[in-house]
Amino acid sequence: MQDSSPTDAIVVDGVNKRFGKHAVLDGVQLNVRPGETFAFLGRNGAGKTTTIRMMLGLMSPDAGTMRVLGLDPTRDALAIRRRVGYLAEDQQMWGWMNVEQIIRFMAPFYPSWDDDLARRYVRDFELPLKTRIRHLSKGQSVRLGLLLALAHRPELVILDDPALGLDPIMRKEFNRDVVTHLQGEGRTVFYSSHLLYEVEPVADRVAILDRGRIVRAAATDELREQVRQIVLPSDMYGRLDVPLKKLDVRQRDTETAVVVDDAPAAIAGLRARGVPHQVVDLNLDEIFEAFVIGRVDGEHAPPPAGHAVERVA
Ligand SMILES: Nc1ncnc2c1ncn2[C@@H]1O[C@H](COP(=O)(O)OP(=O)(O)OP(=O)(O)O)[C@@H](O)[C@H]1O
Protein backbone atom coordinates (compact mmCIF):
# COMPACT_ATOMS: atom_id res chain seq x y z
CA MET A 1 0.00 0.00 0.00
CA GLN A 2 1.36 3.43 -0.92
CA ASP A 3 1.19 6.31 1.52
CA SER A 4 -1.67 8.64 0.80
CA SER A 5 -0.99 12.10 -0.60
CA PRO A 6 -3.14 15.26 -0.50
CA THR A 7 -3.48 15.10 -4.29
CA ASP A 8 -4.91 11.56 -4.34
CA ALA A 9 -8.12 11.24 -6.33
CA ILE A 10 -9.52 8.77 -3.80
CA VAL A 11 -8.48 8.03 -0.24
CA VAL A 12 -10.26 5.34 1.75
CA ASP A 13 -8.97 5.10 5.29
CA GLY A 14 -9.97 2.37 7.73
CA VAL A 15 -13.53 2.05 6.47
CA ASN A 16 -15.92 -0.39 8.13
CA LYS A 17 -19.46 -1.15 7.07
CA ARG A 18 -22.03 -3.57 8.46
CA PHE A 19 -25.49 -4.50 7.28
CA GLY A 20 -27.15 -5.76 10.46
CA LYS A 21 -24.90 -8.49 11.80
CA HIS A 22 -23.04 -8.86 8.52
CA ALA A 23 -19.69 -7.05 8.52
CA VAL A 24 -19.25 -6.24 4.83
CA LEU A 25 -16.15 -4.03 4.95
CA ASP A 26 -13.45 -4.31 7.56
CA GLY A 27 -10.77 -1.62 7.75
CA VAL A 28 -10.63 -0.95 4.00
CA GLN A 29 -7.68 1.19 3.08
CA LEU A 30 -6.75 2.37 -0.39
CA ASN A 31 -5.58 5.38 -2.32
CA VAL A 32 -5.88 6.19 -6.00
CA ARG A 33 -3.43 8.57 -7.66
CA PRO A 34 -4.61 11.14 -10.21
CA GLY A 35 -4.39 9.86 -13.78
CA GLU A 36 -4.03 6.19 -12.93
CA THR A 37 -6.29 3.29 -13.79
CA PHE A 38 -6.96 1.48 -10.56
CA ALA A 39 -8.59 -1.95 -10.61
CA PHE A 40 -10.62 -2.90 -7.57
CA LEU A 41 -10.82 -6.66 -7.65
CA GLY A 42 -13.03 -8.97 -5.67
CA ARG A 43 -15.37 -11.91 -6.01
CA ASN A 44 -19.14 -11.47 -6.01
CA GLY A 45 -20.19 -10.09 -2.66
CA ALA A 46 -16.68 -9.00 -1.63
CA GLY A 47 -17.90 -5.45 -0.95
CA LYS A 48 -16.88 -3.55 -4.11
CA THR A 49 -20.22 -1.91 -4.82
CA THR A 50 -20.68 -0.99 -1.16
CA THR A 51 -17.29 0.77 -1.22
CA ILE A 52 -18.20 2.63 -4.40
CA ARG A 53 -21.59 3.70 -3.03
CA MET A 54 -19.85 5.22 -0.04
CA MET A 55 -17.39 7.06 -2.30
CA LEU A 56 -20.38 8.73 -3.96
CA GLY A 57 -22.10 9.54 -0.65
CA LEU A 58 -24.95 7.12 -1.38
CA MET A 59 -24.34 5.50 2.02
CA SER A 60 -22.07 6.30 4.96
CA PRO A 61 -19.26 4.29 6.52
CA ASP A 62 -19.78 3.06 10.10
CA ALA A 63 -16.16 3.94 10.82
CA GLY A 64 -13.22 5.40 8.92
CA THR A 65 -13.02 8.25 6.42
CA MET A 66 -13.08 8.80 2.67
CA ARG A 67 -11.94 11.64 0.43
CA VAL A 68 -12.94 11.78 -3.21
CA LEU A 69 -11.33 14.57 -5.27
CA GLY A 70 -10.43 16.12 -1.92
CA LEU A 71 -14.06 16.13 -0.72
CA ASP A 72 -15.84 14.21 2.03
CA PRO A 73 -18.62 12.06 0.52
CA THR A 74 -20.69 12.25 3.71
CA ARG A 75 -20.88 16.04 3.38
CA ASP A 76 -20.19 16.93 -0.26
CA ALA A 77 -21.96 14.17 -2.17
CA LEU A 78 -23.49 16.49 -4.76
CA ALA A 79 -20.20 18.23 -5.54
CA ILE A 80 -18.53 14.83 -5.90
CA ARG A 81 -21.22 13.44 -8.20
CA ARG A 82 -20.89 16.48 -10.47
CA ARG A 83 -17.17 15.82 -10.89
CA VAL A 84 -17.33 12.05 -11.11
CA GLY A 85 -18.54 9.90 -13.98
CA TYR A 86 -20.23 6.86 -12.50
CA LEU A 87 -21.35 3.79 -14.37
CA ALA A 88 -23.28 1.57 -11.97
CA GLU A 89 -23.38 -2.18 -12.20
CA ASP A 90 -26.62 -3.06 -13.99
CA GLN A 91 -27.44 0.62 -14.53
CA GLN A 92 -31.18 1.27 -14.70
CA MET A 93 -32.53 3.92 -17.07
CA TRP A 94 -36.03 4.96 -18.04
CA GLY A 95 -36.99 2.42 -20.66
CA TRP A 96 -39.65 4.59 -22.32
CA MET A 97 -37.19 7.37 -23.23
CA ASN A 98 -35.22 7.12 -26.41
CA VAL A 99 -31.47 7.72 -26.54
CA GLU A 100 -31.80 11.32 -27.64
CA GLN A 101 -34.35 12.09 -24.91
CA ILE A 102 -32.26 10.70 -22.07
CA ILE A 103 -29.21 12.63 -23.25
CA ARG A 104 -31.28 15.84 -23.24
CA PHE A 105 -32.75 14.92 -19.86
CA MET A 106 -29.37 14.31 -18.18
CA ALA A 107 -27.39 17.24 -19.59
CA PRO A 108 -28.82 20.00 -17.34
CA PHE A 109 -27.76 18.15 -14.18
CA TYR A 110 -24.13 18.84 -15.04
CA PRO A 111 -22.73 22.38 -15.43
CA SER A 112 -19.77 20.93 -17.35
CA TRP A 113 -21.87 18.86 -19.80
CA ASP A 114 -20.28 18.92 -23.29
CA ASP A 115 -22.83 18.54 -26.12
CA ASP A 116 -20.14 18.06 -28.76
CA LEU A 117 -18.58 15.28 -26.76
CA ALA A 118 -21.98 13.64 -26.24
CA ARG A 119 -22.54 13.73 -30.02
CA ARG A 120 -19.10 12.23 -30.57
CA TYR A 121 -19.87 9.35 -28.19
CA VAL A 122 -23.18 8.76 -29.98
CA ARG A 123 -21.18 8.26 -33.16
CA ASP A 124 -18.26 6.34 -31.63
CA PHE A 125 -20.53 4.05 -29.62
CA GLU A 126 -22.88 3.62 -32.59
CA LEU A 127 -25.97 4.53 -30.56
CA PRO A 128 -29.33 4.76 -32.35
CA LEU A 129 -30.76 8.12 -31.23
CA LYS A 130 -34.41 7.31 -31.89
CA THR A 131 -34.47 3.86 -30.26
CA ARG A 132 -36.19 3.49 -26.89
CA ILE A 133 -33.89 2.42 -24.08
CA ARG A 134 -35.93 -0.71 -23.40
CA HIS A 135 -35.19 -1.87 -26.95
CA LEU A 136 -31.41 -1.39 -26.78
CA SER A 137 -29.13 -4.42 -26.68
CA LYS A 138 -27.09 -5.01 -23.51
CA GLY A 139 -23.99 -3.65 -25.22
CA GLN A 140 -25.81 -0.54 -26.40
CA SER A 141 -27.18 0.05 -22.89
CA VAL A 142 -23.71 -0.15 -21.35
CA ARG A 143 -22.37 2.24 -23.98
CA LEU A 144 -25.25 4.66 -23.39
CA GLY A 145 -24.55 4.46 -19.63
CA LEU A 146 -20.96 5.33 -20.40
CA LEU A 147 -21.92 8.27 -22.57
CA LEU A 148 -24.05 9.62 -19.71
CA ALA A 149 -21.17 9.05 -17.29
CA LEU A 150 -18.53 10.71 -19.47
CA ALA A 151 -20.12 13.58 -21.41
CA HIS A 152 -19.65 16.01 -18.54
CA ARG A 153 -15.89 15.44 -18.73
CA PRO A 154 -15.47 14.05 -15.22
CA GLU A 155 -12.05 14.17 -13.58
CA LEU A 156 -12.66 10.77 -12.06
CA VAL A 157 -14.51 7.89 -13.68
CA ILE A 158 -15.88 5.12 -11.47
CA LEU A 159 -16.89 2.00 -13.34
CA ASP A 160 -18.62 -0.72 -11.31
CA ASP A 161 -18.17 -3.98 -13.19
CA PRO A 162 -18.92 -2.16 -16.46
CA ALA A 163 -18.37 -5.14 -18.71
CA LEU A 164 -20.86 -7.31 -16.80
CA GLY A 165 -23.34 -8.81 -19.25
CA LEU A 166 -21.28 -8.01 -22.33
CA ASP A 167 -20.04 -10.84 -24.50
CA PRO A 168 -16.29 -11.59 -24.49
CA ILE A 169 -15.55 -9.67 -27.69
CA MET A 170 -17.46 -6.61 -26.51
CA ARG A 171 -15.67 -6.77 -23.19
CA LYS A 172 -12.31 -6.75 -24.93
CA GLU A 173 -13.43 -3.85 -27.11
CA PHE A 174 -14.66 -2.02 -24.05
CA ASN A 175 -11.22 -2.18 -22.48
CA ARG A 176 -9.39 -1.45 -25.66
CA ASP A 177 -11.55 1.45 -26.78
CA VAL A 178 -13.14 3.02 -23.72
CA VAL A 179 -10.55 2.54 -21.00
CA THR A 180 -7.67 3.29 -23.33
CA HIS A 181 -9.50 6.40 -24.52
CA LEU A 182 -9.96 7.57 -20.92
CA GLN A 183 -6.31 6.88 -20.19
CA GLY A 184 -5.32 8.86 -23.26
CA GLU A 185 -7.25 11.81 -21.89
CA GLY A 186 -5.44 11.53 -18.55
CA ARG A 187 -8.60 10.68 -16.57
CA THR A 188 -8.42 8.82 -13.31
CA VAL A 189 -10.29 5.54 -13.66
CA PHE A 190 -11.48 3.42 -10.73
CA TYR A 191 -12.52 0.13 -12.22
CA SER A 192 -14.25 -2.54 -10.16
CA SER A 193 -14.32 -6.02 -11.61
CA HIS A 194 -14.24 -9.71 -10.93
CA LEU A 195 -13.05 -10.46 -14.49
CA LEU A 196 -9.36 -10.13 -13.91
CA TYR A 197 -7.92 -11.09 -17.24
CA GLU A 198 -9.82 -8.15 -18.62
CA VAL A 199 -8.44 -5.49 -16.34
CA GLU A 200 -4.91 -6.85 -16.50
CA PRO A 201 -3.89 -5.07 -19.72
CA VAL A 202 -5.22 -1.68 -18.59
CA ALA A 203 -4.70 -1.49 -14.83
CA ASP A 204 -1.76 0.51 -13.46
CA ARG A 205 -2.48 -0.66 -9.94
CA VAL A 206 -4.79 -3.18 -8.34
CA ALA A 207 -6.28 -3.81 -4.94
CA ILE A 208 -7.66 -7.22 -4.06
CA LEU A 209 -10.69 -7.14 -1.78
CA ASP A 210 -11.56 -10.42 -0.11
CA ARG A 211 -14.53 -10.72 2.25
CA GLY A 212 -14.39 -7.03 3.05
CA ARG A 213 -10.63 -6.74 3.55
CA ILE A 214 -7.91 -5.51 1.22
CA VAL A 215 -5.54 -8.45 1.09
CA ARG A 216 -3.06 -6.84 -1.32
CA ALA A 217 -2.63 -3.55 -3.17
CA ALA A 218 0.23 -2.96 -5.60
CA ALA A 219 1.25 -1.82 -9.05
CA THR A 220 0.22 -4.51 -11.53
CA ASP A 221 3.84 -5.02 -12.65
CA GLU A 222 5.07 -5.29 -9.08
CA LEU A 223 2.43 -7.90 -8.32
CA ARG A 224 3.48 -9.98 -11.33
CA GLU A 225 7.10 -9.78 -10.23
CA GLN A 226 6.47 -10.61 -6.58
CA VAL A 227 3.78 -13.25 -6.90
CA ARG A 228 5.05 -16.25 -8.83
CA GLN A 229 4.87 -19.99 -8.60
CA ILE A 230 8.00 -21.91 -7.70
CA VAL A 231 8.15 -25.64 -8.39
CA LEU A 232 10.75 -27.71 -6.57
CA PRO A 233 11.36 -31.33 -5.54
CA SER A 234 9.07 -32.24 -2.62
CA ASP A 235 11.86 -33.81 -0.58
CA MET A 236 13.87 -30.58 -0.78
CA TYR A 237 10.78 -28.48 -0.06
CA GLY A 238 10.28 -30.47 3.15
CA ARG A 239 13.79 -29.60 4.32
CA LEU A 240 13.86 -26.01 3.07
CA ASP A 241 15.31 -23.37 5.36
CA VAL A 242 14.42 -20.45 3.02
CA PRO A 243 11.60 -18.33 4.50
CA LEU A 244 8.81 -18.07 1.91
CA LYS A 245 5.75 -15.83 1.95
CA LYS A 246 3.43 -18.61 0.88
CA LEU A 247 0.00 -18.06 -0.63
CA ASP A 248 -0.70 -21.51 -2.02
CA VAL A 249 1.03 -24.89 -1.81
CA ARG A 250 0.20 -27.85 -4.02
CA GLN A 251 1.79 -31.28 -3.88
CA ARG A 252 1.99 -33.20 -7.14
CA ASP A 253 3.88 -36.49 -7.40
CA THR A 254 7.47 -35.70 -6.52
CA GLU A 255 7.15 -31.95 -6.89
CA THR A 256 5.75 -29.16 -4.78
CA ALA A 257 4.37 -26.00 -6.39
CA VAL A 258 4.36 -22.98 -4.12
CA VAL A 259 2.91 -19.57 -4.97
CA VAL A 260 4.90 -16.98 -3.05
CA ASP A 261 4.49 -13.24 -2.53
CA ASP A 262 8.21 -12.50 -2.36
CA ALA A 263 9.46 -14.24 -5.49
CA PRO A 264 12.75 -12.34 -6.04
CA ALA A 265 13.91 -12.99 -2.46
CA ALA A 266 12.70 -16.60 -2.54
CA ILE A 267 14.47 -17.30 -5.84
CA ALA A 268 17.69 -15.72 -4.56
CA GLY A 269 17.49 -17.91 -1.44
CA LEU A 270 16.95 -21.08 -3.48
CA ARG A 271 19.81 -20.22 -5.83
CA ALA A 272 22.17 -19.50 -2.97
CA ARG A 273 21.42 -22.95 -1.54
CA GLY A 274 21.63 -24.68 -4.92
CA VAL A 275 18.03 -25.92 -4.72
CA PRO A 276 16.79 -26.88 -8.21
CA HIS A 277 13.54 -25.12 -9.06
CA GLN A 278 11.38 -23.72 -11.85
CA VAL A 279 9.74 -20.32 -11.73
CA VAL A 280 6.32 -19.95 -13.34
CA ASP A 281 4.94 -16.51 -14.20
CA LEU A 282 1.30 -16.08 -13.21
CA ASN A 283 -1.37 -13.93 -14.75
CA LEU A 284 -3.59 -11.66 -12.68
CA ASP A 285 -6.30 -14.33 -12.53
CA GLU A 286 -3.94 -16.83 -10.97
CA ILE A 287 -2.47 -14.23 -8.63
CA PHE A 288 -5.96 -13.28 -7.49
CA GLU A 289 -6.86 -16.94 -6.95
CA ALA A 290 -3.77 -17.48 -4.84
CA PHE A 291 -4.81 -14.62 -2.54
CA VAL A 292 -8.48 -15.49 -2.22
CA ILE A 293 -8.57 -19.28 -2.42
CA GLY A 294 -4.91 -20.20 -1.95
CA ARG A 295 -4.19 -22.87 0.67
CA VAL A 296 -0.95 -23.68 2.34
CA ASP A 297 -1.92 -27.15 3.53
CA GLY A 298 -1.22 -28.70 0.10
CA GLU A 299 -3.46 -30.44 -2.42
CA HIS A 300 -3.25 -32.20 -5.77
CA ALA A 301 -3.90 -29.96 -8.75
CA PRO A 302 -2.62 -29.66 -12.31
CA PRO A 303 0.01 -27.01 -13.06
CA PRO A 304 -1.15 -23.78 -14.69
CA ALA A 305 -0.62 -24.17 -18.43
CA GLY A 306 0.62 -21.83 -21.10
CA HIS A 307 2.96 -19.57 -19.16
CA ALA A 308 6.57 -18.61 -19.43
CA VAL A 309 8.65 -21.04 -17.43
CA GLU A 310 12.11 -20.08 -16.32
CA ARG A 311 14.18 -23.16 -15.63
CA VAL A 312 16.95 -22.90 -13.12
CA ALA A 313 19.46 -25.70 -12.64
N1 LIG B 1 -28.25 -2.58 1.31
C2 LIG B 1 -27.80 -3.76 1.73
N3 LIG B 1 -28.39 -4.40 2.78
C4 LIG B 1 -27.93 -5.59 3.21
N5 LIG B 1 -26.88 -6.24 2.67
C6 LIG B 1 -26.26 -5.66 1.64
C7 LIG B 1 -26.69 -4.40 1.10
N8 LIG B 1 -25.87 -4.06 0.08
C9 LIG B 1 -24.97 -5.08 -0.04
N10 LIG B 1 -25.20 -6.02 0.89
C11 LIG B 1 -24.41 -7.25 1.09
O12 LIG B 1 -23.08 -6.85 1.26
C13 LIG B 1 -22.19 -7.78 0.63
C14 LIG B 1 -21.29 -7.03 -0.33
O15 LIG B 1 -22.08 -6.60 -1.44
P16 LIG B 1 -21.49 -5.73 -2.62
O17 LIG B 1 -22.60 -5.49 -3.59
O18 LIG B 1 -20.79 -4.56 -2.07
O19 LIG B 1 -20.42 -6.73 -3.24
P20 LIG B 1 -19.67 -6.69 -4.63
O21 LIG B 1 -18.24 -6.99 -4.34
O22 LIG B 1 -19.99 -5.45 -5.37
O23 LIG B 1 -20.29 -7.95 -5.36
P24 LIG B 1 -20.82 -8.11 -6.87
O25 LIG B 1 -19.61 -8.27 -7.73
O26 LIG B 1 -21.63 -9.37 -6.77
O27 LIG B 1 -21.65 -6.92 -7.18
C28 LIG B 1 -23.06 -8.84 0.00
O29 LIG B 1 -23.13 -9.93 0.89
C30 LIG B 1 -24.41 -8.17 -0.13
O31 LIG B 1 -25.43 -9.11 -0.06
Residue range 90-122, pLDDT digits in tens: 777 788 889 999 999 999 989 899 999 999 989
Point out the ligand 1 atom lying closest to the alpha carbon of residue 160: 22
* Stretch among 5-19, 218-232, 292-306 having the lowest mean pLDDT: 292-306
> Is the separation of the CB atoms in 179 and 188 below 8 Å?
no
Residue among 41, 44, 49 whose CB has most ligand 1 atoms within 8 A, to mutate: 49
> Is the separation of the CB atoms in 89 and 164 below 8 Å?
yes
Q: Is the dihedral of CA 101, 104, 110, 112 positive or negative?
A: positive
Tell me if 24 CB under 6 Å of ligand 1: yes
- For residue 18, report the distance from its CA to the centre of ligand 1, in Å: 10
Q: Find the mean pLDDT for residues 172-189.
A: 82
Tell me if 47 CB under 6 Å of ligand 1: yes
Point out the ligand 1 atom lying closest to the alpha carbon of residue 50: 18
What is the C-alpha separation between 125 and 119, in angstroms, rounded?
A: 10
Residue range 2-42, pLDDT digits in tens: 566 778 999 999 999 999 999 999 999 999 999 999 999 99
Instruction: Using the predicted structure, report yes or no on whether residue 307 has a pLDDT greater than 50.
Output: no
What does the pLDDT read at residue 165?
65
ipTM of the modeled complex: 0.95
| Helix-strand-coil split of the chain, %, nearest 5 | 35, 30, 35
What does the pLDDT read at residue 3?
66
What does the pLDDT read at residue 184?
85
Residues in the chain: 313
- For residue 96, report the distance from its CA to the centre of ligand 1, in Å: 29
